Amino acid sequence: MPATMHRELARIVGAERVLEAPASSPYNHDAARRRGVEGRAEAVVLPGSAAEVAALVAWCYAHDVALVARGGGTGMMGGAVATHGGIVCSLERLVRVRELEPALWRMLPEAGVSTRDVQRLARENGLFFGPDPGACEQSQIGGNVATNAGGPHALKYGVTGAWVAGLEVVLAPGELVELGGWAGKDVAGYDLKSLMIGSEGTLGVITAVRLRLLPAPQATLALVVFLPTREQGCAAIGELLGSGLRPAVLDFLDSETLAMTAASYPADAPAAGFALIVELDGTRAEVKDQRAELSQVLAASAIAVQEPAAAELWRWRDGFNGVVTGVRGAKVSEDVAFPIERLGEGLERFAQIAGRHGLRSCAWGHGGEGNVHATVLVDPAEEAELDAAQEVGEELFALVVELGGSVAGEHGVGWLKRGRLEAQWAPRALDLHEEIKRAFDPKGLLNPGKKLARYPAPSPVTSTE
Ligand SMILES: Cc1cc2nc3c(=O)[nH]c(=O)nc-3n(C[C@H](O)[C@H](O)[C@H](O)COP(=O)(O)OP(=O)(O)OC[C@H]3O[C@@H](n4cnc5c(N)ncnc54)[C@H](O)[C@@H]3O)c2cc1C
């Protein structure tokens, strides 16, 4: 990093908070590392307050330097790395919980508080924070908001954005601004807070989040339902939802995922072609009633309904990524979503696409939302397999659009899915997407290259004049 840059950044955050960023630095990688995404940051800066973040954005804007906001680095799409150089602004020191009001069901953590700590603090105070993306120990609440992260409980409780009452953000060219607040209703103005949610660091830097929590449910019951075939499994998802049951979780595994993860399943799994992970919650009486209703709805189709210990069940579920990766040394997993009534067709056609390209495939995900982690297994040393995986991805995205789904269910767009929106949205909507980016970030310095609606994108505006 040039000496002047170091000196000026050190004036904002202190010399020891300005780090060099060699290629090997963890700040040049996130969870997309295995897919070859690497950053080339000139510096990593660790501000200790929202005011320092604002000063940093102002400095970047004054010197035409790109700035990439970084949370826990668990994003799967390469969003948190500086693919276009510039500065990585890590929020890891903003870890204060500024407010916690159990009686008002509220918490105001700074952006760097880990998702796990938000969940834990809520629980310790008799409350509940629903979003539970899989890398909770490492991901941060700011990153969850920036990606609008989901997870299994999003079916009943919504994705992260549903819990956000307000945001403190730094907007270009370096102003600290509050969007939203604690008012229970707020229809004044366009919903700028919602624009920030899921914006992946391309519109501003989130420094604190007003979270509206819920009272914790009295009881929960986790179940695994085994079904004979994919077709019957997808039909069962529709029947459960159509019956009026509101499960907190309705995840699925196809036959291949079941086979690969059978050894770590915490009970004796029967032979089956599909499985559902269901969680019911509410008062004890409500859970009991829902359990009876579930048995009734699935009486004709389920092979078995099991109730392993919840902690073991979730440990098994959290292990899918690792187990599936281990089978051939690597996997390429795409996060997509189908309309719920097209889920069965989507899964079947994805398996056919992978088969046509000679790759073993599997799928699991959040069945209640039609959200699929469509996966092909590859040997990382086999170039031809990696190329085939790429082609499977292209055909999968075309299929998703054909069936009226989304090319990004919950993992965002980042760098890896840049331009994918072009197939999904009308040209005017794409124009608006780009105009919003320009309105928030006229110089195109906030996480450049990420979440691009079109690719190649129109030349970035480099000057406000
Ligand atoms: C094993 C595993 C399981 C996962 N399971 C799920 C899942 O079930 N559901 C799900 O939705 N996701 C899942 N993810 C993806 C990931 O955990 C989420 O996207 C998470 O919300 C990212 O948070 P983070 O703090 O790590 O963000 P990062 O990876 O650091 O950043 C992600 C994006 O957000 C931006 N960003 C981060 N912090 C800020 C900020 N303060 N202000 C502005 N922009 C910011 C970055 O620039 C980047 O574009 C999983 C990831 C892994 C590795």
pLDDT in tens, 271-308: 999 999 999 999 999 999 999 999 999 999 999 999 99
Is the distance from the beta carbon of residue 437 to the nearest atom of ligand 1 less than 6 Å? no
Identity at 187, one-letter amino acid code: V
3-class secondary structure, 49: coil
pLDDT at 1: 85
From the candidate CATH numbers 3.40.367.20, 3.40.50.300, 3.30.70.2190, 3.40.50.1110, the one assigned to the domain spanning 219-318: 3.30.70.2190
| Residue with CA at minimum distance from ligand 1 atom 7 | 133
140 lines ligand 1 (CB under 6 A): yes
Is 222 in contact with 278 (CB distance < 8 Å)? yes
Please check the confidence at residue 459 and state whether its pLDDT lies above 90: no
CATH number of 97-215: 3.30.465.10
Q: Which residues of the chain form CATH 3.30.70.2740?
A: 322-402
Q: Is the CB of 135 under 6 A from ligand 1?
A: yes
Residue 217: pLDDT above 50? yes
Whole-number pLDDT of residue 465: 31
Does residue 216 contact residue 123 with C-beta atoms inside 8 Å?
yes
- The reply to whether ligand 1 has any atom less than 6 angstroms from the CB of 144 is yes
Measure 75 CA to ligand 1 centroid, in angstroms: 4
Predicted confidence (pLDDT) at residue 63 exceeds the cutoff of 80 = yes
Give, using CA atoms, the residue closest to atom 32 of ligand 1. 75
Asked whether 142 lines ligand 1 (CB < 6 A), one says: yes
Give the residue range(s) of CATH 3.30.465.10 domains in the chain: 97-215
Residue 118 has pLDDT above 90, yes or no: yes
Task: Quick: pLDDT tens for 227-249.
Answer: 999 999 999 999 999 999 999 99
Q: Is the confidence at residue 216, as pLDDT, over 50?
A: yes
At 456 the pLDDT is 80
Are 136 and 116 contacting, i.e. CB atoms less than 8 angstroms apart? yes
Looking at every residue in the chain, the average pLDDT score rounds to: 95
Secondary structure percentages of the chain, helix, strand, coil, to 5: 40, 20, 40
> pTM above 0.85?
yes
Q: Percent of the chain scored above 70 by pLDDT?
A: 98
Q: Tell me the CA–centroid distance for residue 264 and ligand 1, in Å.
A: 27
Among 37, 52, 74, 324, residue to substitute to test ligand 1 (most atoms within 8 Å of Cβ): 74
Distance CA(125)–CA(103), nearest Å, equals: 9
- Please tell me if the CB atom of residue 87 comes closer than 6 angstroms to any atom of ligand 1: no
Report the alpha-carbon distance of residue 330 to residue 322 in Å, rounded: 9
Candidate of 35, 57, 68, 70 to mutate for ligand 1, largest count of ligand atoms within 8 Å of Cβ: 70
Report the pLDDT averaged over residues 324-336.
Answer: 95
pLDDT at 464 over 80: no
Separation between Cα atoms, residue 196 and residue 205, nearest integer Å: 9
Probe residue for ligand 1, chosen from 30, 56, 147 as the CB with the greatest number of ligand atoms within 8 Å: 147
One-letter amino acid identity for 394?
A: E
Give the confidence band of 457 by pLDDT, cuts at 50, 70, 90: low
> Torsions phi, psi of 415, nearest 5?
-95, -40
Contact (Cβ atoms closer than 8 angstroms) between residue 47 and residue 57: no
pLDDT tens, position by position, 134-167 = 999 999 999 999 999 999 999 999 999 999 999 9
Q: What is the three-class DSSP state of 337? A: strand
Q: What is the mean pLDDT of residues 329-339?
A: 96
Given this structure, which CATH class describes domain 322-402?
alpha beta
As a whole number of angstroms, the distance between CA 450 and CA 182 comes to 31
pLDDT category at 458 given cuts 50, 70, 90 is low
pLDDT of residue 461: 40
Spatial contact of 177 and 171, defined as CB atoms under 8 Å apart = yes
pLDDT, mean of residues 410-435: 96
Q: Which two tokens stand for residue 234?
A: 């997808």
Say how far apart CA 260 and CA 269 lie, in whole Å. Answer: 12
- In the predicted structure, residue 460 carries a pLDDT above the cut 50: no
* Ligand 1 in reach of 39 Cβ (< 6 A): no
Q: What is the pLDDT of residue 189?
A: 94
Mean pLDDT confidence for 33-49: 95
Ligand 1 centroid – CA 96 distance (Å): 19
- 64 pLDDT exceeds 90? yes
Ligand 1 near 388 CB (within 6 A)? no
Mean pLDDT, to the nearest integer, of 163-192?
97
CATH 3.30.70.2190 domain range(s) in the chain = 219-318
DSSP assignment of 202-253: SS-EEEEEEEE-EEPPSEEEEEEEEES-HHHHHHHHHHHHHTT---SEEEEE
C-alpha triplet 150, 154, 158: angle, nearest 5°: 100
With bands split at pLDDT 50, 70 and 90, how would you rate the model's confidence at 463? Answer: very low
